[in-house]
Amino acid sequence: MVISGEKDNQTPVTAPITEVKLDLRSSIRRRLISGATAAAAAVASESSAKMTLANDENSTTESVGGDTNSDAESRYPFGSGSGEEERKGETEMNGGGARGDGTGKGGRESPAKFVYRASAPAHRRVKESPLSSDAIFTQSHAGLLNLCIVVLIAVNSRLIIENLMKYGLLIRAGFWFSSRSLRDWPLLMCCFTLPAFPLGAYVVEKLAWNKLISESVTLFLHIILTMTEILYPVFVIISCDSAIFSGVALMLIASTLWLKLVSFAHTNYDLRTLLISKGETVSECPSFDYQDGVSFQSLAYFMVAPTLCYQPAYPQTTCIRRGWVIRQFVKLVIFIGVMGFIIEQYINPIVKNSEHPLKGSFLNAVERVLKLSVPNLYVWLCMFYCFFHLWLNILAELLRFGDREFYKDWWNAKTIEEYWRMWNMPVHKWMVRHIYFPCINNGLPKGVAILISFLISAIFHELCIAVPCQTFKFWAFLGIMFQVPLGILTRYLQEKFQNSMVGNMIFWFLFCILGQPMCVLLYYHDVMNRKVSAK
């Protein structure tokens, strides 16, 4: 075949069809570029550089959806050239020329609008839509999450403004601090005397390590100390008829101290058992006192550290980030204020205008529970963020406490059991270390060990709520024990449907939408009925 090269060159050249086509395209490009002005060539060069999508032939082909295998080439018989020619054509389509680096055969850049082939295949592979069931979990949905956050802020801002315009500001100083709060000084004095119990536990352990008392006597003394430590605040709260918030705060502190005392006694007993029976050492603990067996410094650090599991030494960070602590403290103050606003502006009016869920109209009770569920959920999430993230991290930073896994991604829990394993890691580690595995090691079945763990959790939930409210209807106790069959149900549904969304939605609905608002209404009306009966 004869083809003209330049105008002054009429020498006939015989070449294969593929080379002729390539020479023809190169000739057309050279003529188009030479016929344009210098300014147009510069603009085209800049445009070509911006549209370069890859640096090599393979990545460029992939960027436009190309397929490099022979099946794809035979499946898409577009164009008049071979598969190699199509790949070269796609490289040119992206402004890459034959080299794939933005230059043509002659080393000069080619405008993409002149080399884009209309016959190049635009569809080469089977692909799913991003929101299809097969591809939805492989895509990033950060933009949709941002949209949900923006919509949530907009909707709730409108509701807040509407509520303020309709009812005004309902926050009262007397709800948080009043003349009655001054009568709660016995609770404050009780809180100040609680450190006497860790001191007594230290004395008992020191005697045990020095072999001045037997293990049975040590166990008996620890039982007396722990039982007295938890019953002492209960007696003070009931006898003083204190405010609910003050009583809840004292019971939370007393329960935390009880868990720490149990861990302190159990861990020291286990260390003595290892040293005596197996001759093992605890050299990995640098602050361990080998002579006395127990260190007052380690006990004092444990009592203020953000953990419930005692050990002679903990991993520590190298320094304290003061600026970081200040920022977290500011966040803590802000979110506490948000919780107070939601409680005063939304939860209190809803609760006061409700009937007892078990005595009034069923539809009215459902309406109140659903209306209370949203502000109650916000308060609960703020409480979690304030305590488990902000406060525990602030305390850990000030004490240079290294292990800061205070929670896991419990919001992704597929079953109730996963939620309880992830949302409160200090309590979970305590349960596993001092309840669950000791039960397993003593021959109890796994189900019985789980039941005992939930039983202890239910008792302390009831103490922290029923004692300050001074009404013992066991709603909190029953709510925690109900988690056992609920965990079995969610695990069964997870195994049956093999879908993480089913169990997760059941968890959110039963725990946050139905369970917590129902407990709030039940305890509120029980407290109100008790006050009416007292008057």
Active site residues: 461
For residue 112, give the nearest of 85, 94, 86 by alpha carbon: 94
3-state helix, strand, coil in the chain (%, to 5): 70, 0, 30
**Which tokens go with 494?**
């997870």
Q: Is 425 helix (H, G, I), strand (E, B) or coil?
A: helix
CB-CB neighbours of 251 under 10 Å: 22
Q: Tell me which DSSP letter residue 432 carries.
A: I
* Measured distance CA(493)–CA(484) in Å, rounded: 15
Helices H, strands E: what count in the chain? 26, 0
What count of Cα atoms within 13 Å lies in the side-chain half-sphere of residue 446?
Answer: 0
Residue 248 CA, distance from chain mean position:
26
Amino acid, res. 315: P
Q: Which residue has 């609920």 as its token pair? A: 486
* Measured distance CA(24)–CA(426) in Å, rounded: 74
* Measured distance CA(419)–CA(512) in Å, rounded: 12
In terms of C-beta density within 10 A (0-12 exposed, 13-18 middle, 19 or more buried), how is residue 216 classed?
Answer: exposed
CB-CB neighbours of 438 under 10 Å: 15
Q: Is 356 helix (H, G, I), strand (E, B) or coil?
A: coil
Q: In this structure, are residues 311 and 387 in contact, taking their beta carbons and an 8 Å threshold?
A: no
What count of Cα atoms within 13 Å lies in the side-chain half-sphere of residue 33?
Answer: 22
What count of Cα atoms within 13 Å lies in the side-chain half-sphere of residue 50?
Answer: 7
Q: In this structure, are residues 483 and 458 in contact, taking their beta carbons and an 8 Å threshold?
A: no
* Measured distance CA(265)–CA(201) in Å, rounded: 8
* Measured distance CA(412)–CA(414) in Å, rounded: 6
Rama region for 456: left / alpha / beta (φ>0; ψ in -120 to 50; rest): alpha
* Gap between the terminal Cα atoms of the chain: 114
Q: What is the DSSP string of 456-510?
A: HHHHHHHHHHHHHHT----HHHHHHHTHHHHHHHHHHHHHHH--HHHHHHHHIII
Which residues are bridge partners to 316 per DSSP?
Answer: 401
